[in-house]
Homo-oligomer: A and B are copies of this chain.
Amino acid sequence: MSERIVVIGAVAAGPKAACRVKRLLPDAEVTLLDQDDLISYGGCGIPYYVSGDVSDEKELRATSFHMLRDERFFKEAKGLNVMTLTRAVSIDRKEKVVNVENVKSGEKSQVPYDKLVIATGSQPNVIPVPGHDLNGVFTISNLHKAIAIKELLAQGKVEKAVVIGGGAIGIEMAEALADLWGIETKIVEFMPQVLPRIVDVTIARMVEQHLRENNVEVFTNEGAQKFEGTDDGWVKKVITNKRELECDLVIMAAGVRPRGELAKEAGLEVSPYGAIVVNQRMQTSDPSIYAAGDCVETYNLVTGKKAYAPLGSVANRQGRVVGDNLAGIPSRFDGVVGSFIMKVFDICVGATGVSTDVAKSEGFEAVSAMAVQSDRAHFFPTQALMFNNIVVNKTDRRVLGLQGFAKMGDGLLARLNAAAGMIARRAVIDDFSNLELAYAPPFSTAVDVLNAAANIADNLVSGRLKIVSPEEFVDWMDGKSDHPDWMALDLRHPKEAEPWVKAFPEKWYAMVYDQVRSHYQELPKDKTFIIICNAGTRSYEIQVFLRSVGIDNTLVLAGGLNVIRRLGVSWWQQ
């Protein structure tokens, strides 16, 4: 009898595992079951469906050659048995059967297996505050919810929306609502920044400012405490610890958690937060049962600790590894570095590896270095600034992470992708300084922004470069904190520096970059100079020079005014 392989869950990891093993073992009897009738959809495309960029939900379920990935497709094209609208109720590991139930008829039956794959995915967190179950409060748990939201929008029933959660999905949904539909949209984030634990605060602030520039208000450090409804039960207000926000739509995007209940009840090992524990072959604690996708725990290749990485790309790659192992090919999934990228209106932001905060909390002596540079040759007409923030461990110079902010396009992807494999392989600063990125003027610079970030990190870790962070500098300028006797030393062209000298005559001193070597003796004495230019490069050169002539009390404004300019500070507009 041919081997019976049963796969529970038919969105990403499940179909990938099922199709791969069917190709490797054409004689196997592979059954794919799912409680839904909409299967194998691109869940990451939901915000683009809601926005209207993708006009029909069927596009999220179509192959690149325009066949709908429905039950019929997996049967006829892929040769699988498919059972949709079929919920796996329990797993009888002794008898090797899955007890299932038809979600419409309630009819119960049993599906026997020789090998089982659990790909039950994740479910969105619901914030347990009063009113979370009002009409108009949505999570993005599946395609049905997306369709319902889009219908509401199309009917013109939404004027004001609140998104709870400033992570990737929250921001993507906010853009979808605000950009095409013109809905007054606000984001409420419990943590002190958007994209918490993903990017450092400087990058987060730049994203927040870009959201504001696109009419999406962002409230950080605020938690939703209550949702108020109309008499007929429709949400009308979100109440946070600081304010009340009127709305007629709430999107709860407060993260997801693994659907590990089925596995747990079957006695398989699960993590404290409910993710299924698997080995590098994606095998659970029962060797006949594999698991993959949003329902499993994985391993962080930077921290060396267990991690949870609910991402469509990870699910697909894990699914293939499951397929291989079911067929006796010993493929492995070793873990993740957490590569991430997203579009936010006209910019993109992304990261790979860990942020400085996460690195510190994991015990690394982490520092970050920001390179701000043209994404391509500065003489090439389409050039734009790119920001690369590299996170390194001071003690062993290991690169722990990279984050970036750039004009919308694929340029940031090119730097993140270059870094991902290197970080996974424990590369150090010098490996990044010398990383051989493809170069031609229409694409990059001879010393790429990523090489440059590593070079800055080298100077920082070696103690040659001493910096003040943009956040600290902004606090001084805002008067929130102060540093005794600091003074800006502005190296830019006199026309650029002049308005600043006028606005802050006590604090701002201008001396053009190429005049410092001959005129440094005119500098005021006994000041801590905050050396300022647009990107930080000229400032570093001058810091080194001033040190050589005995002026040691200097700090370079990291990333220069190109960063400050993107933070939306009140004193910039002069």
**Interface residues in chain A, defined as those with a beta carbon under 8 Å from any beta carbon in chain B:** 12, 16, 23-24, 26-27, 42, 44-45, 48, 53-54, 59-60, 62-67, 72-73, 76-79, 168, 311-317, 320-321, 331-334, 336-343, 348, 350, 352, 373-375, 377-381, 408-411, 413-418, 420-422, 424-425, 427, 430-431, 433-444, 446-448, 451, 455, 464, 492-493, 513-515, 517-518, 533-535, 538, 540-541, 544-545, 547-548
Ordered by A's residue number, 18 sampled pairs between the chains whose C-beta atoms are within 8 Å are: A12-B446, A42-B377, A42-B446, A44-B439, A53-B381, A59-B379, A65-B493, A65-B538, A76-B514, A316-B447, A317-B451, A341-B440, A342-B442, A350-B438, A413-B414, A415-B417, A416-B438, A420-B437
Closest CB of chain B to A64's CB: distance in Å? 4
In the complex, A77 Cα to B427 Cα: how many Å?
34
Q: Is the CB of B380 within 8 A of A541?
A: no
In the complex, A417→B420 CA distance in Å?
A: 10
Alpha-carbon distance between A411 and B411 when the two chains are bound, in angstroms: 7
Contact A438 B409 (CB under 8 A): no
A51 smallest CB distance to B (angstroms): 11
Docked pose: A333 CA to B48 CA in angstroms: 45
In the complex the two chains form, what is the Cα distance from A534 to B158 in whole Å?
42
Q: Which one of B321, B417, B438 contacts A438 once the chains associate, using CB atoms below 8 Å?
A: B417
- Report B-chain residues with C-beta under 8 Å of the C-beta of A336: 436
Q: Are A315 and B444 in contact (CB under 8 A)?
A: no
Chain B residue, CB-CB nearest to A61: B379
Give A332 to B434 CA distance when docked, in angstroms: 9
Which residue of the partner chain, among B332, B421, B533, contacts A418 with CB atoms under 8 Å? B421
3 tightest A-B contacts by CB?
Answer: A26-B548, A417-B418, A410-B410
Contacts of A312 in B (CB 8 A): 439, 446
Q: A371 vs B250: C-alpha distance in the bound complex, in angstroms?
A: 42
Interface centre among A62, A436, A442 (most CB of B within 10 A): A436
Q: A79-B545, A417-B415 are in contact. Are A341 and B45 (CB under 8 A)?
A: no
B433 touches A420 (CB 8 A): no
- Determine the chain B residues whose CB is within 8 A of the CB of A414 once the complex forms: 410, 413-414, 417
Q: Once the chains are docked, how many angstroms separate the CA of A118 from the CA of B516?
A: 29
Select from chain B the residue with minimum beta-carbon distance to A172.
B440
What CA separation (Å) do A441 and B451 show in the bound complex?
Answer: 27
Closest to A418 in B: B417
Which of A23, A66, A375, A425 has the largest number of chain B CB atoms within 10 A? A23
Q: Are A352 and B67 in touch, CB under 8 angstroms?
A: no
Within 8 Å by CB of A76, from B48, B311, B517, lies B517
Contact A544 B334, beta carbon cutoff 8 Å: no
Given contacts A436-B420, A545-B26, contact A441 B48 (CB under 8 A): yes
Name the residue on B nearest A437 (C-beta): B417
- Chain B residues whose CB sits within 8 angstroms of the CB of A332 once the complex forms: 430
Verify B420–A48 contact, CB threshold 8 A. Answer: no
Tell whether, in the assembled complex, residue A317 and residue B374 are in contact, meaning their CB atoms are under 8 Å apart.
no
Given A76-B515, A380-B48, A421-B421, is A439 in contact with B313 using a C-beta cutoff of 8 Å?
Answer: yes
Let me know if A77 and B541 touch, CB within 8 A: yes
B545 and A339 contact, CB distance less than 8 A: no
Contact between chains at B417 and A45 (CB < 8 Å): no
When the two chains form their complex, are residues A431 and B421 in contact, meaning their CB atoms are under 8 A apart?
Answer: yes
* Inter-subunit contact B547/A379 (CB<8 Å): no
A414 to chain B, nearest CB (A): 4
Smallest beta-carbon distance A38→chain B, Å? 15
Q: A316-B446, A317-B434 are in contact. List 20 more A-B contacts (CB 8 A).
A: A42-B379, A44-B439, A48-B377, A53-B380, A54-B379, A62-B378, A76-B515, A77-B514, A312-B439, A313-B439, A331-B430, A331-B433, A343-B443, A413-B437, A413-B438, A413-B443, A417-B438, A420-B438, A421-B422, A421-B436
Chain B contacts for A409, CB-based, 8 A: 409-410
Residue among A12, A64, A517 having the largest count of chain B Cβ atoms under 10 Å: A64
A196 to B300: give the CA distance in the assembly, Å: 42
CB of A348, distance to nearest CB on chain B (Å)? 7
A23 to B411 Cα, complex, angstroms: 30
Q: In the complex, A350 Cα to B352 Cα: how many Å?
A: 24
B23 near A541 with CB under 8 A, answer: yes
Chain B residue nearest to A379 (CB atoms) is: B59
Decide if A65 touches B417 in the complex (CB within 8 Å): no
Task: Identify which of B339, B451, B515 contacts A436 (C-beta below 8 A).
Answer: B339
In the bound complex, CA of A230 to CA of B65 (Å): 57
* Cβ contact of A320, chosen from B314, B341, B455, cutoff 8 A: B455
Nearest to A417 among chain B residues (CB) is: B418
Which residues of B are found within 8 Å of A65, using beta-carbon distances? 492-493, 513, 533-535, 538
> Is the CB–CB distance between B76 and A436 below 8 Å?
no
- A410 in complex: contacting residue of B411, B515, B538, B545, CB < 8 Å: B411
The CB with the most chain B CB atoms within 10 A, among A320, A381, A438, is that of A438
